[in-house]
Chains A and B, each alone.
Chain A
Amino acid sequence: MIKAILVFNNSAKPRLVKFFEHYPEEVQQRILRDTYQLVSKRDDNVCNFLEGGSILGDNDCRLIYRHYATLYFIFCVDSSESELGILDLIQVFVETLDKCFENVCELDLIFHADKVHYILQEICFGGMVLETNLNEVVARVDEQSKIEKQEAGISAAPAKAMTALKEMNLPQKIKDIKLPDLNLNLRF
Chain B
Amino acid sequence: MSTTMDQVVKKAKDSFGPIFDKSLHDLVRGIRSHKDDESKFINEAIDEIKQELKQENMSVKANAVNKLTYLQMLGYDISWSAFNIIEVMSSNKFTFKRIGYLAASQCFHEGTDVLMLTTNMIRKDLNSSSMYEAGLAMSGLSCFINADLARDLANDIMSLLSSTKPYIRKRAVLLLYKVFLNNPDALKPAFPRLREKLEDQDPGVQAAAVNVICELARRNPKNYLSLAPIFFRLMTSSTNNWVLIKIIKLFGALTPLEPRLGKKLIEPLTNLIHSTSAMSLLYECINTVIAVLVSISTGLPNHEASIQLCVQKLRILIEDSDQNLKYLGLLAMSKILQTHPKSVQAHNDLILQCLDDKDESIRLRALGLLSGMVSKKNLMEIVRKLMIHMHKSEGSHYRDELLSKIIGVCSQNDYQYIANFEWYVSILVELTRLEGTKHGGMISLQLLDVAVRVESIRQFACNQMAILLENAHVFILGSNSSSVAEVLYAAAWICGEFSSSLKEPEKTLEAMLNTKITSFPGHIQSVYYQNILKVITHIIISSENGGTVAKDLVSMAITKMSVFLSSGDVEAQERASVVLNILKVVLKLIEKSEFNPNELTVLFDGVLNPVASKAQRKVAIPNGLDLDAWINDPPSESEDETVPSNPYEYSKQGLFSDDQRENYYNASNLSSNTGDNSPRQYTELTSEELDKQRETRKQSEHLNPFYIKETKKSKSTAQTNVSSAILDSSDRSQPAMSKGTIPAGLQLVSSDQLYRQSKIDQENHRLKNKSKADSGSAKKGKKSTRKTDSAAADNVDENLYPAIKVTRGGELPEGATESGNEDNDEEKYVGKNKKYDPHRALNIDLSEPVHVVPPLAPALAVPEPISTVTEQLTTATTKTKKKKKTEKDEKPKSKSKRERTDYKQLSPGDEEDKRVASPTPLQPPAATSTIVETTVPKEKVKKKKPKGKESTTETLTSAPLVRDIMGDDDINPMSSSNQQANEPAIYKSIAESEHLLITSSITPSSSPAQLDVTFLLKNRTSSIINQIDVHVIDSMSSKLLNTTSPNHVSFPSISVFPHAEYYIHIYFAITAISFPQKLKTTLTYTINKPSSENSKETIEFKLDLPCSQYLIKKTIDSNAFADLMSSSTLTSQSHINIPSSSQDFPSILKILCQSYRFTVVDQIASAASLYSESVLGHPIALLLKSSNGIAIDGKSTEMHFLSNLLEEMKNFFK
Contact = CB atoms under 8 A, between A and B. Distances in A.
A145 B952 CA distance: 65
Interface string A7-24: 000000010111010101
A151 B142 contact: no
Contact of B326 (A47, A84, A118, A140): A47
B9 A165 contact: yes
Contacts of A129: 207, 211, 242
Contact of B77 (A25, A48, A117): A25
A140 B167 contact: yes
Interface in B214-240: 214-215, 218, 240
Interface in A140-188: 140, 143-144, 147-148, 151-152, 155, 158-159, 162-163, 165-166, 168-169, 185-188
B12 A85 contact: no
Given A1-B215, A47-B362, A48-B324, A188 B279 contact: no
Contacts of A88: 280
Contact of A144 (B9, B66, B132, B249): B132
17 contacts: A17-B106, A18-B106, A25-B75, A47-B359, A49-B324, A49-B327, A114-B24, A114-B99, A117-B102, A127-B142, A148-B95, A159-B19, A162-B9, A166-B26, A169-B2, A186-B280, A188-B242
A132 B211 CA distance: 13
A98 interface: no
Interface string B64-98: 00100110111111000000000000000111001
A104 B685 CA distance: 87
Interface in B191-205: 204
A125 interface: yes
A65 B98 CA distance: 28
Contacts of B1157: none
Contact of A132 (B9, B66, B242, B277): B242
A151 B93 contact: yes
Contacts of B32: 110
A187 to B, nearest CB: 8
Interface string A114-132: 1001100100011111111
Given A26-B75, A130-B170, A114 B66 contact: yes
Contacts, number: 183
Given A14-B74, A80-B214, A186-B278, A45 B358 contact: yes
B56 interface: no
B174 A163 contact: no
Contacts of B211: 128-129
Nearest to B110: A22
Given A148-B95, A188-B242, A111 B143 contact: no
A78 to B, nearest CB: 9
A68 to B, nearest CB: 16
The CB with the most chain A CB atoms within 10 A, among B26, B142, B177, is that of B142
B98 A148 contact: yes
A186 B215 CA distance: 23
A88 B109 CA distance: 29
A40 interface: no
B73 A113 contact: yes
A82 interface: yes
Interface in B498-541: none
A63 to B, nearest CB: 11
Contact of B280 (A24, A85, A147): A85
A188 B25 CA distance: 36
A140 B2 CA distance: 39
The CB with the most chain B CB atoms within 10 A, among A17, A125, A131, is that of A125
B178 interface: yes
A89 to B, nearest CB: 9
Contacts of B322: 185
Contacts of B278: 185-187
B448 interface: no
B98 A14 contact: no
B241 interface: yes
Interface residues of A, number: 63
A88 B324 CA distance: 12
Contacts of B327: 47, 49
B9 A82 contact: no
Contacts of A43: 358-359
Given A29-B75, A118-B102, A165-B5, A186 B279 contact: yes
A129 B279 CA distance: 19
A85 B245 contact: yes
Interface string B33-76: 00000000000000000000000000000000010011011111
Nearest to A64: B324
Nearest to A20: B143
Leading 7 A-B pairs by shortest Cβ distance = A126-B142, A84-B280, A186-B278, A22-B109, A185-B279, A47-B323, A46-B359
B281 interface: yes
Nearest to A188: B241
Contact of A49 (B28, B215, B361): B361
A20 B25 CA distance: 26
A169 B5 contact: yes
B212 interface: yes
Interface in B83-140: 93-95, 98-99, 102, 106, 109-111, 130, 132, 135, 138-139
A61 interface: no
A87 interface: yes
Contacts of A159: 19-20, 23
B283 interface: yes
A24 B20 CA distance: 32
B242 A85 contact: yes
Given A46-B360, A148-B94, A128 B174 contact: yes
A43 B323 CA distance: 12
B361 A47 contact: yes
Contacts of A140: 167
B20 A118 contact: no
B1173 interface: no
Nearest to B112: A22
B2 A82 contact: no
A50 interface: yes
A95 interface: no
Given A17-B73, A48-B323, A80-B215, 15 more contacts: A24-B77, A46-B361, A48-B324, A51-B361, A58-B835, A84-B283, A113-B24, A118-B98, A125-B175, A130-B204, A144-B94, A147-B95, A151-B93, A162-B9, A162-B12
B926 interface: no
B324 A84 contact: yes
B174 A130 contact: yes
B28 A46 contact: no
Nearest to A140: B167
A148 B95 CA distance: 5
B215 A82 contact: no
The CB with the most chain B CB atoms within 10 A, among A1, A26, A127, is that of A127
B171 A110 contact: no
Given A25-B77, A131-B204, A165-B8, A80 B218 contact: yes
A130 B284 contact: no
B93 A188 contact: no
A186 to B, nearest CB: 3
B361 A163 contact: no
Contacts of B102: 114, 117-118
B16 interface: yes
Nearest to A16: B73
Contact of B139 (A14, A16, A121): A121
B561 to A, nearest CB: 48
B328 interface: yes
B208 interface: yes
A87 B12 contact: no
A159 B17 CA distance: 11
B323 A168 contact: no
Interface in A37-62: 43, 45-51, 58
A158 B16 contact: yes
A147 B324 contact: no
B325 interface: yes
